[in-house]
Structure 1
Amino acid sequence: MSQTVQHRRRGRPRQAPAEAEDAPVQSLDRALALLATLAEADGLTLTDLAGRADLPMSTAYRMLLTLQRRGLAEFDASTQLWLVGVETFRIGTAFLRRRKLADCGRDAMQGLVAACGETANLAVAEEDGVVFVSQVETHEAIRAFFRPGTRALFHASGAGKAILAYRPPQAAAATLKRVGLPRFTERTLTTLPALLADLAAVRERGYAVDDEERNLGMRCVGAPIFNEFGEAVAGLSVSGPTVRVTPEAIARFGPLVRDAAARVTRAIAGRPPAA
């Protein structure tokens, strides 16, 4: 007897009813439509905005207050007009930054694959770690693979440690205190002194090494990418099995990854931090 197995779509809650999968959350859908309407003009009164969005004024007003608390909408008391808030700019520039990074990093990743023979990855910094946004795979049968959207903590990834090494000490300490240093393998750095010593070595040589600290049998070499303020906002890395990514290979890959990350930094008009 055959049985059909339905695999859960990624990003969907385990208990989500199938018939509701594509049903929008009405209040969120209305709020986003209201924000889109607000963005089309250089300021609207509550009456005009509610009319354009086809919402009761009381509903539109409550939504605007919620958006205002999040910085997505602003009210100009002198003109009695509602406008988009500064937070919409931050969100928009975050999208542009990722697209620009992915575009500029592609050539660098392809070059690394050709030079190192291993998979190249691009990851961007988030509050508690990194998220991998792009990858160029090697043609080797055994290779590293990070699906776009995969997240990793700072202390257990090459790109993550490369970024964390250039964070201000107080900010780095606050992040580590909040997230902790969970152990993934027996090689994971789970004490602050050990991690801080490793980060000092990262700054000294310009690249980080994940020596089976996230997955046994895999090594990764990562280097930071800086924005225009000298802040480490992303990381470029190459990853592969330990049988190929040997200590001798790491010594060769490190400067290649560091130089490739520096080229991406220049391509996005970034600059390394002052010594």
Structure 2
Amino acid sequence: MPTSSASSTDSARSSSNGGVQSLERAFDLLERMADAGGEVGLSELSASSGLPLPTIHRLMRTLVACGYVRQQPNRRYALGPRLIRLGESASRLLGTWARPYLARLVEETGETANMALLDGDEIVYVAQVPSKHSMRMFTEVGRRVLPHSTGVGKALLAGFPPEEVRALLARTGMPAATEKTITTADGFLAALEDVRRQGYAIDDNEQEIGVRCLAVPVPDSPTAAAISISGPAGRVTEAATEKIVPVLQQVAAELSRALASQNPA
């Protein structure tokens, strides 16, 4: 008499693209948890994924056993600490992939090029190629900053609904890094409107006096990412901006295609 359980049947079942269905479902649940802020209940996951509760419970039990999910005292589920190591390694690898594209930015613009991700409520820099000028900008890879005073932060948050941006700003606060830092939610949302209209973001002496930064998002990146150039305000002028922005946008599009090729459907 067959003894195959529903679990083993699910594990062996192939998905439409030749993969293992249970793995696809498990990763889909992890992404849904991340979209929900990192903590959810089984009924919420069932409603958003369309999967039956017994299937979700079985998958979550496996993820808990592996350390990728943990169950809270209130019976809800949260993303687990084992994901941190995977995320840090993936961020470093993403920075490695980006470096040739950042090097092109430096060659074509003459200014320091950066790549940054939105990690929770903070911006984290994952790659940099410095300018060849003697006067140049340095941002340590791994450095974390709040998004409201950076060009990359504006470029990334311009794609978010206003209510989500307000909630993020309420959590982080909006301390002034310089006298030009935007310190009100309304002012920041107005700046994001400018980003959407113009197609790029500007940090005009807002993170550091004497430094201007131009940034664009990387389209369709697997995680929210942006690239930027930064340099002395005397070099990154309005006239220079008109020449630099198309280069930024082109390199961002090429980087997006390269990342997509690393993650075939």
Q: Same fold (TM over 0.5)?
A: yes
Alignment partner of 1:111 is 2:104: yes
- 1:218–1:240 Cα contact (<8 Å) kept: yes
When the two chains are superposed, the root-mean-square deviation of aligned CA atoms in Å is: 3.2
- 2:162–2:189 Cα contact (<8 Å) kept: no
Match of 2:22 in 1: none
Mapped to 1, the partners of 2:197 and 2:90 lie a distance apart of 28
Match of 2:209 in 1: 216
- What SS is found at the alignment partner of 1:200? helix
- What SS is found at the alignment partner of 1:134? strand
Alignment partner of 1:257 is 2:248: yes
Moved more, 216-225 or 179-188: 179-188
Q: Across the two proteins, how many residue pairs are aligned to each other?
A: 197
Alignment partner of 1:240 is 2:231: yes
Question: 1:83, CA displacement in angstroms?
Answer: 3.1
Match of 1:38 in 2: none
Match of 1:83 in 2: 65
Structure 1's 176 and 103: CA in aligned 2 closer, same or farther, altered over 3 A? Answer: same
Mapped to 2, the partners of 1:136 and 1:101 lie a distance apart of 14
Question: 1:259, CA displacement in angstroms?
Answer: 2.0
Identity %: 38
Structure 1's 142 and 127: CA in aligned 2 closer, same or farther, altered over 3 A? Answer: same
Structure 1's 167 and 90: CA in aligned 2 closer, same or farther, altered over 3 A? Answer: farther
The AA in structure 2 aligned to 1:237 is S
Mapped to 2, the partners of 1:204 and 1:255 lie a distance apart of 15
- 2:178–2:207 Cα contact (<8 Å) kept: yes
Mapped to 2, the partners of 1:129 and 1:169 lie a distance apart of 17
Mapped to 2, the partners of 1:95 and 1:235 lie a distance apart of 17
Structure 2 residue ranges without an equivalent (≥5): 1-38, 40-56, 70-79
Structure 1 residue ranges without an equivalent (≥5): 1-68, 70-74, 271-275
Match of 2:135 in 1: 142
Question: 1:223, CA displacement in angstroms?
Answer: 0.9
Specify the structure having the higher radius of gyration (Cα).
1
Structure 1's 168 and 97: CA in aligned 2 closer, same or farther, altered over 3 A? Answer: farther
Mapped to 1, the partners of 2:93 and 2:128 lie a distance apart of 15
- Structure 1 stretches of at least 4 aligned residues deviating more than 3 Å after TM superposition: 85-93, 226-229
The TM-score with structure 1 as length reference comes to 0.64
- CA deviations over 1:18-63 (Å, ceiling 9, x no partner): xxxxxxxxxxxxxxxxxxxxxxxxxxxxxxxxxxxxxxxxxxxxxx
Following superposition of structure 1 onto structure 2, how do residues 1-275 of structure 1 map, counting pairs within 5 Å?
Answer: 83-87=65-69, 90-91=83-84, 93-95=86-88, 97-227=90-220, 233-269=224-260
The TM-score with structure 2 as length reference comes to 0.66
